[in-house]
């Protein structure tokens, strides 16, 4: 499904814009900026220090309330952090492209590395550097899936690869202690700490070189661990040393003029990586997206005041879900599954939370009358 509606993007992003007719962007309650955009080293240091200080102080307060020595608890927590960092950091790499840098996570001993699609952009060749190493190794593109902002590259000639362990992200709970590992601002092997603040968030990314129409990411993990530019594609890790997600977005604050909103970052869940990465490694593309679609090309319609007022259908996929249910070009979609949709972004967010094969009510305006159709949702194609 795709859209012609324009999409706002942070001023700090460098990739050029493209019309939104090829994919629907998503919807989030706050504007977001990709973690790979530019920033200053001072901002990174302050954010990381604040997150670390709060987590450690919180552990000490909890220990005192329970009658346990705060010093002992902090020391134990510190030892746990050090052990996890020692285990996982060798699996986290820095990825350099002609347009910038990001992070990645080693998947296997064959050299496959998962990262964000927006990190690699349109590049096909990269340089990969491992933690605490001055040596870099060449890597090539295996496959990319911008709709979920994931990509796999393969490094050549690197010795002693240490694959990361991917957790079951469906089991992740709010309050879980986590560490974010990556290369913020080019500061390799950096770590920040925090907790899982929420799960199951549907968030939107602005347009990028990899996804000119933007992308909608369902089921993301929200964390208070500092996610700074360059962390994109790295590892969000639990205290068992398992990767629960791939840090992807950091929120920006409208009140702060688009500046960083500390303590609000998002990661693609590891179970999504488990679905997408093997397909990219095996086939070079994603054939099973596991994401619902209506099978229409749409655009946002505005009312007389210029506000979004509905989603106009400008094209219907032959034999797709919408056509089979009776929708046609010229219909204006106003709700899906009982949820109002006034824009392509809202429609994309609603669909992101639905299942392939699920039957839902789709309400449209046609020739001045309201009609409701029951649509059995199809699957989003890898092309969007």
Residues 295 and 292: their CA atoms lie apart, in Å, by 9
Q: What are phi and psi of 269, to 5 degrees?
A: -65, 150
Token pair, residue 228, equals 């700074």
In DSSP terms, 153 is beta-bridged to 113, 141
Q: What are phi and psi of 249, to 5 degrees?
A: -130, 150
**Closest by CA position to 103, among listed 113, 93, 118, 88:** 93
Q: Is 149 a catalytic residue?
A: yes
Active-site residue identified among 52, 188, 204, 232: 232
Token pair, residue 101, equals 């840098």
Token pair, residue 252, equals 């920006």
Token pair, residue 159, equals 């010795």
Active-site residue identified among 3, 44, 103, 118: 118
Angle, vertex CA 198, rays to CA 192 and CA 199, nearest 5: 110
Which helix (DSSP H) or strand (DSSP E) does residue 119 occupy?
Answer: helix 117-120
Token pair, residue 107, equals 């998947």
Q: For residue 56, count other CB atoms closer than 10 A to its CB.
A: 16
DSSP letters of 129-190?
EETT-S-EEEEEEEEEEGGGTEEEEEE-S--S--PPEEP-GGG--TT-EEEEEE-GGG-TTE
User: Quick check: 348 and 26 in contact, CB under 8 A?
Assistant: yes
Q: Is 224 a catalytic residue?
A: no
Token pair, residue 338, equals 């009982």
Which helix (DSSP H) or strand (DSSP E) does residue 369 occupy?
Answer: strand 369-376
Residues 289 and 298: their CA atoms lie apart, in Å, by 20
Residue labelled with tokens 């990825």: 95
Active-site residue identified among 149, 193, 331, 337: 149
Q: Is 232 a catalytic residue?
A: yes
Residues 220 and 218: their CA atoms lie apart, in Å, by 6
Please list the active-site residues.
118, 149, 232
């Amino acid at each position: 499904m795709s859209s012609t509606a324009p999409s706002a993007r942070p001023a700090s992003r460098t990739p050029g814009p493209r019309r939104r007719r090829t994919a629907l962007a998503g919807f989030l309650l706050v504007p977001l900026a990709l973690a790979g955009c530019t920033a200053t080293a001072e901002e990174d240091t302050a954010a990381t220090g604040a997150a670390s200080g709060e987590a450690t102080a919180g552990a000490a307060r909890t220990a005192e309330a329970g009658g346990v020595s705060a010093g002992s608890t902090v020391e134990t927590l510190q030892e746990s952090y050090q052990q996890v960092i020692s285990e996982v950091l060798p699996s986290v790499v820095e990825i350099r492209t002609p347009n910038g840098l990001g992070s990645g996570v080693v998947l296997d001993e064959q050299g496959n590395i998962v990262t964000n699609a927006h990190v690699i952009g349109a590049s096909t060749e990269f340089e990969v550097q491992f933690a605490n190493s001055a040596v870099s190794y060449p890597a090539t593109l295996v496959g990319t899936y911008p709709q979920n902002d994931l990509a796999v590259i393969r490094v050549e000639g690197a010795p002693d690869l240490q694959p990361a362990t991917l957790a079951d992200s469906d089991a992740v709970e709010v309050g879980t202690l986590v560490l974010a590992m990556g290369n913020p601002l080019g500061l390799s092997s950096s770590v920040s700490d925090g907790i899982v603040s929420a799960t199951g968030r549907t968030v939107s990314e602005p347009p990028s070189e990899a996804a000119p129409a933007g992308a909608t990411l369902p089921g993301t993990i929200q964390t208070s661990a500092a996610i700074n530019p360059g962390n994109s594609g790295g590892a969000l890790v639990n205290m068992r040393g398992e990767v629960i997600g791939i840090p992807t977005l950091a929120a920006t604050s409208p009140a702060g003029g688009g500046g960083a909103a500390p303590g609000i970052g998002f990661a693609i869940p590891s179970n999504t990586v488990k679905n997408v990465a093997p397909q990219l490694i095996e086939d070079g593309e994603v054939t099973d997206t596991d994401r619902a679609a209506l099978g229409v090309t749409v655009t946002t319609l505005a009312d007389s005041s210029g506000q979004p007022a509905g989603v106009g259908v400008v094209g219907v996929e032959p034999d797709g879900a919408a056509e089979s249910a009776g929708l046609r070009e010229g219909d204006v979609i106003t709700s899906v599954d009982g949820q109002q949709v006034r824009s392509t972004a809202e429609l994309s967010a609603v669909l992101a939370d639905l299942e392939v094969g699920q039957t839902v009510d789709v309400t449209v305006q046609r020739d001045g009358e309201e009609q409701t159709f029951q649509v059995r949702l199809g699957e989003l194609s890898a092309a969007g």
